[in-house]
Amino acid sequence: MSDDAIEPTEDNGAPAAEKGDRIAKVLARAGLCSRRDAERWIEEGRVAVDGQVLTTPAVVVTPGSIILVDGKPIKEPEPSRLWRYHKPAGLVTSHRDEKGRPTLFESLPPELGRVISVGRLDLNSEGLLLLTNDGELARKLELPATGWVRRYKVRVHGAVDPERFLPLAQGIVIDGVRYGEIKVEFERQKGSNAWVTVALTEGKNREIRRVFEHLGYVVTRLIRLSYGPFQLGLLPRGAIEEVPRRVLRDQLGLGAAKDKGATTRKMLSLKDKPAAEPAKARVRPPKPHRAVEPPPKRGRRAEGRAQGDPHPAAVAKPVGARATRAAGKTESTRKPGGPRGADRRR
């Protein structure tokens, strides 16, 4: 080592360890997969670091590490992005389905790139589903520790007794599985069906359907309305919209650096996929700013009023003594001997 080369040291004089992250975390952050998928890829021998095929996910890599997946180097991590997606019923929330059923990822626009879902909605459920290119972000948003409330609109077959839902606020155990606090609000009974709103902070598999079935109710439709601060709103069925960068900063503390077009809202139609370029955002352009000008003056009556004076129509009619004086003045202006109808103003 030359005299000019200085090896980095810690405060105690020992060589400083270069900072790094677990390999599964790096792959998830790169948007390739979730942490769980990364661990499975490692078990399958698909991941290599610095020329060595990994056999365990308990490996820390540094920015200087050469990481290959299926023999190809991974890309630099992209800025975290998040989308709202209105999932229709009939799609599986999975990249692959062993039964050959259609998956929502197969129907997404190709220019979207590889994304993963934040949680899941089962085959027959619909509504808001968050998608992201950041596996680490997806994992964090799925954790009940966030305390985010997930709201659903649920249709139940048969007559509903709202009192039966009250104990769910304390949680319930079904077949050895503990379900946390569930709040149910009865909306209306319509014929043989009833609509209720359900709020919970967990996301166990088929949680609402299983709890309602335990109470003797059959769920015939389930729509997720919100996930934490993100709302389904008027997003059309099957459409996807990117969450603006400023919202990610405000709600999640992400993306401090500004990206080109980061605040643009993208609406991608899944029915009309563009061949060469991404679909244009279905967003109304802001109206141009126009200076406020005073209304044009009309006639002599407008000219006789100073700017800021109230319009004659806005002046209150005289009441009390003022009304009496006004009435007397009107009486004195009547023509003598005129017909009774002449008292009226023309």
Active site residues: 122
Residue 63 phi/psi, 5° resolution?
-55, -25
Residue 255 neighbours by CB distance under 10 Å: 18
Give the C-alpha separation, 126 to 238, whole Å: 10
Cβ proximity of 228 and 137 under 8 Å = no
Give the C-alpha separation, 131 to 121, whole Å: 12
Identity (one letter) of the amino acid at 240? I
The alpha carbons of the chain give a radius of gyration, in whole angstroms, of 33
Give the C-alpha separation, 230 to 141, whole Å: 12
Strand partners, 341: none
Give the C-alpha separation, 311 to 291, whole Å: 22
Give the C-alpha separation, 135 to 84, whole Å: 16
